[in-house]
Amino acid sequence: MVTHYDNTAPQTLWLSIYLPMLPVEVFTRGLKPEDTSRPIVILAQRKVRFLNPAAHARGINIGSSLDTAFTLSSQVVSFERNEQKEFSTLSHLAQWTYQFTPNVSIRAPDCLLLDISGCLKLFGGLENLKSRIQQGLTKQGYESVLTTNMTPMAALCLATSNRKQQVEKDNTGTDENGSCVAYVTKSLESLPVDCLQVDKKIIESLQQMGIADCKALFALPQSGLNRRFGIYFVDYLQRLLGEKPDPQKFINPEPKFVNDVTFLADINNTASLRFPINRLISELAEFLTARQLATNHLSWSLSHRSHGDRNFNILLANPVNEHDMFMSLTLLKLEQINDVKEIDNLSLAVNNLFPAVNISGDLFHGTPFQQNNSVKGQQQQTDMLLNKLRTRLGPGSCYGLSAANDHRPEKAWKPVRLDQKDYWQPDQIGMTSIPQPARPMMLLSQPKPLPGTCSFSSAGNVTGGASVKTPFQLSSFHSPTRKAKHQLTLLKGPERIDFGWWDEDDLSKVITRDYYVATINNQGSLLWIFQYSNDKRWYLHGIFS
Amino acid sequence: MAQKQPYDLDKTLQKAGMWRASHMHAGFQPEQKQGTPTGFNILDEQLSGSGWPTDGITELLYEHAGIGEIRLLAPALANLSQQKAGWILWISPPYIPYAPALIAAGIDLTSILVINPKNQTDSLWAMEQALASTSCCAVLAWPKNINDKQVRRLQVASKSGKSLGILFRSIQSVKQASPAELRIELTGNSYSPLVEHSSLDMKIVKRRGGWPTEKFTIDFDDKLHQITPDFSEMAFRNPHKPAPDLVFVDRQSSQDRYGYPLR
C-alpha cells in the first residue's frame, strides 16, 4: 500500500496593499462627497507632490509650485505633507487588517503586507478576500491597490508598479510545479526595472547598462551582480525570487483605538459633526467586534490647529459595544457643549477595553415557548436609561440606596455607586425577624433644631405648665409668609440610641438621643424627633412621609 | 294610527358605547390599561384599571409632608421592586429616602435610583426619559414649579413606557387645570387616642372614567399612632386620673371629659 505524501513545500501567499493616495486621503477621508470635488494638493518644500483627481482635472501637475496651482484654480486647498499622520493612519489600517490575518507588516510609507496563506479558506477564496479588503478600505475612504504573489517583495513590486492597470495572475496559492522561483520570475518578467525596491543609483546603473525590464535582470549571473552592485542587491533579488526566505516583522495587536477625522473648512457649530461622529463610531464598533471587546469610556477631542483641544468623555455604566448607544450618548453630551469656536479635527480615543460579555440568546426566541422577559433586551434597556442620566447629569449624580451596618440613624443608610453596587445585607437571618421600631420614610440630611421651647404634650398624659406655642415650620408647601403655630404631641417613645459609647471613657460625655414619634396636632403629619439627654435640646430628624 | 311605543330605557342603556358614571369598570373601554394595584382595596375600587395608571401621570396634592404620601405608594412600589420590573427613580426628593424604612416596607433597594438634578430643565428631561423608557417602572418627582404644558409633555411620554409617573405637588395647584390623568388631594388625619394605626384622607379630584369623589379614608397597616403611656407622670402627678385608655373621648366636642383640649 503506497501512501502519497505531499512533497511540495508549504506555499506562502502574500497580499500587498498599496495606498497610492494616502497623503491626500489622511486629510480628505472624513469629508462628505461634495467636498471632495474641490481640488486638494499636498505640498512638500513648496512644490506639489500629491493631488486628488479634481486637482488633476484642473491641470495641476506634480512638481508645480503652489502659485501655479492657485493660478489654475482658485479653490485649491493645500496641506503640508504630514508624514507622521500618514504613518499613524497606516498603523491604524494595519490594525484594521488584523481581522483578516495576524501576520501584517507595515511597509512605509504607503504599503501593507499581509500573509494570507492561512486565511483563504475562512474567507471563501482569494477573490472574496480581496474584494472584502478593498471594500472595507473604500468605506473608510482609502483607495487601494491589492496584488498577490508568493514572496513579499514580489507582491510589493507588483503593487507599486500597477498604479493604473490591474495585472493579476490569479493563483489560489498552490503551484503544481512546486517552484516558487519560477512563478515569481514569470510574474515579474514584464515589469520595468525601476519598480524594484532598491537604491535609485542601482536602478539608474541598470538602465544605463541597457537592462530595462526584469526579464533581462533575472538572466544575469548572480556573481556578476554581486561584484558590481554589492551583496545587498543580490540578497534582495534572492529574497524577491524566493530563493531565500524572507521573514517579515509583524505587528502586534494593539489594545487601543485612536482615530480621527480632519475637516477642510473650519466647522463652527457642533450640530454638523453628526456625520463624522457616526463614521468614527462605526469604525469603533467594527474594531470592537473584530476583537470581541467592549468599552465603557470614549474620549472625544475637538481640536483646531491654533486653539487648544476641547475634550469630553462619555462614561458608561457597563462596557458595551453598541453603535446606537454610543451615538445617542455622544450627541447628548455634545448638546451641552457650546463654547467651541471652530473645529478642524475630531478624534476619538478608546483605551479602556474589556472582553465582551456574551449573552446567550434564547433558543426558542420567536416561538410560543420563548421566555417572557428576554434577559438581553432588559439589560440593554436598563443600561440605556442609566447611561443617559449619567451622561447628562454627570457620572456621580445617580446613586442607589442601601442599608448600612450601623445603629446610628444617620449612618444606617448609605448611597451606593451604581457601577459598584455594594449593597449591604444584614448577615444574620434571624435578626430580621425581630420587629424593628418604626423608621421614617424620609430622613433630614442634618437634624433640624426645633425652635425655642416648643411645647410638647405627651399623649399618654396631660402636660402641665405653660405651653408656649412657637412657630415651627415643616417643609411643606406653605407660603413662607404664613407662620403656622404648631403644637406637637409625642406618641411613641422614647427610643434611646447611644452614640459611640465605646469611644468615651466617661459615660456622661457620650451623646445619647431619645427618639420619639410625634405628630403635629391638627395636621396629621408624623415626625421623628429626638432630644439630647444631657442638654435636653429637641431636634427634628425624620418625617414619616 | 299606530300606538306610540313607549320609550324603552333599557334598550338604550344596553346599547354599546353608552357610558354610565356608576359603572366605571364596565368593559366598554377597549384600551383600558391595567393599572398597578395600589394595595388598598378601597382605593382600587375608585380607580379605573384598578390601580395606579401606568400610561398617565398621577398627581398627589398635599399641604403638609409626613401625612403618609409615600406610605401610600409603598405597597405598589414593594410589588414592583420584588418583581424586578425596572428602576424606581426618585427625582429631587425633599429629604433623603431612608433605606431602613424602605426595607421595612418591603421595597427591594436594588431597584432604587435617586437623582438630584441641579435645575428644573434637567429634572423634567430626566422624568421624560424615564417615563418613555421601558426599563423604568416608577418615577417619583417633587417638581418645584411645573406648568400644565410640561405636565402634558410628561403625560405624552408616559404613554410610551410602562412606568408609574407620580408628581408630588402643593395643594394650591388643585385650582390649576392639569392634564394629568389622576389627581388626588391628600390630607392627614390627626391623631385620636383610641386608634393605633395612622390613616390618610383622600379626595380624588380627577380620574379617568369617573367623576370626582368625596373624601374617603385609607387606613395604613401600621402602629404609628400607638401611644407609649408615660407611667411616671401618671403615677406621681395625678393619682386620681384614670389611665388614658379608659378615658372616654367624645369626638364631637373639643374637650375631653376632664376639660383638657382634645385637638
Taking only the tens place, the pLDDT of each residue in A459-496 is: 543 333 223 333 344 544 444 444 555 677 778 877 88
- A:423-482 residues touching chain B, CB 8 A cutoff: 423, 436, 438-445, 458-462, 464, 474-478
pLDDT classification of A352: cutoffs 50, 70, 90: confident
pLDDT classification of A75: cutoffs 50, 70, 90: confident
Report the percentage of chain A scoring pLDDT > 90: 5
User: How confident is the model over B120-178, as pLDDT tens digits?
Assistant: 999 999 999 999 988 899 999 999 888 889 999 999 999 888 889 999 998 888 888 88
Across A308-321, average pLDDT: 85
Query: What pLDDT shows up at residue A6?
Result: 40
Query: What pLDDT shows up at residue A498?
Result: 81
Report the percentage of chain A scoring pLDDT > 70: 79
Supply the pTM of this predicted model.
Answer: 0.72
Residues in A touching B117 (Cβ below 8 Å): 393, 397
CA end-to-end span of chain B: 73
B135 interface with A at CB cutoff 8 Å: yes
Contact assignment for B70 to A404 by CB distance below 8 Å:
no
Query: What pLDDT shows up at residue A503?
Result: 65
Query: What pLDDT shows up at residue A454?
Result: 53
User: How confident is the model over B15-42, as pLDDT tens digits?
Assistant: 666 666 665 555 445 455 678 888 888 8
CA distance B67 to A13: 81
Give the mutation candidate from A329, A469, A526 for the B interface (greatest B CB count, under 10 A): A526
Residues in B touching A398 (Cβ below 8 Å): 113-115
A402 interface with B at CB cutoff 8 Å: yes
- B:63-82 residues touching chain A, CB 8 A cutoff: 63-71, 74
CA distance A516 to A298: 51
For residues B187 and A43, which has the higher predicted lDDT (pLDDT)?
B187
A382 interface with B at CB cutoff 8 Å: yes
User: For A123-137, A327-341, A437-451, B218-232, which range has the lowest pLDDT when averaged over its residues?
Assistant: B218-232
User: How confident is the model over A366-409, as pLDDT tens digits?
Assistant: 677 666 555 555 555 557 888 888 888 887 788 999 988 878 88
Hey, how many other C-beta atoms are within 10 angstroms of the C-beta on A389? 27
Give the DSSP H/E element, type plus range, for residue A333.
Answer: helix A323-335
By CB atoms closer than 10 A (0-12, 13-18, 19+), residue A54 is middle
Residues in A touching B98 (Cβ below 8 Å): 413, 439-443, 542
All three cell numbers of B191, joined, read: 391623631
Query: What pLDDT shows up at residue B235?
Result: 47
pLDDT classification of B11: cutoffs 50, 70, 90: confident
pLDDT classification of B234: cutoffs 50, 70, 90: very low
All three cell numbers of A213, joined, read: 525590464
CA distance B55 to B182: 11
Give the minimum alpha-carbon distance from B19 to chain A in angstroms, rounded to a whole number.
Answer: 36
User: Is the pLDDT assigned to residue A190 strictly greater than 50?
Assistant: yes
Query: What pLDDT shows up at residue A300?
Result: 92
Query: What pLDDT shows up at residue A64?
Result: 83
What is the value of ipTM here, to two decimals?
A: 0.77
Across B184-202, average pLDDT: 85
User: For A66-70, A197-201, A519-523, which range has the lowest pLDDT when averaged over its residues?
Assistant: A519-523
Query: What pLDDT shows up at residue A281?
Result: 93
- If you search the block for the grid coordinates 455604566, which residue do you land on? A317
User: How confident is the model over B65-103, as pLDDT tens digits?
Assistant: 888 889 999 999 999 999 988 899 999 998 999 998 998
CA distance B58 to B47: 11
Contact assignment for A439 to B224 by CB distance below 8 Å:
no
Query: What pLDDT shows up at residue B250?
Result: 46
User: Which residue type does A19 have?
Assistant: L
User: How confident is the model over A5-50, as pLDDT tens digits?
Assistant: 444 445 788 888 988 888 888 887 766 666 667 778 888 888 888 8
Residue of A nearest to B234 (CA): A461
User: How confident is the model over A149-177, as pLDDT tens digits?
Assistant: 888 888 888 888 764 444 444 443 444 44
Residues in B touching A526 (Cβ below 8 Å): 66-68, 198, 224
User: Is the pLDDT assigned to residue A4 strictly greater than 50?
Assistant: no
A346, A350, A270, A262: which is closest to A311 by C-alpha? Answer: A346
User: Which residue type does A215 have?
Assistant: K
- A:74-113 residues touching chain B, CB 8 A cutoff: none
Give the minimum alpha-carbon distance from B13 to chain A in angstroms, rounded to a whole number.
Answer: 41
Give the mutation candidate from B60, B67, B98 for the A interface (greatest A CB count, under 10 A): B98
pLDDT mean across residues, chain B: 81
pLDDT classification of A258: cutoffs 50, 70, 90: confident
pLDDT mean across residues, chain A: 78
Longest dimension (CA), chain B: 95
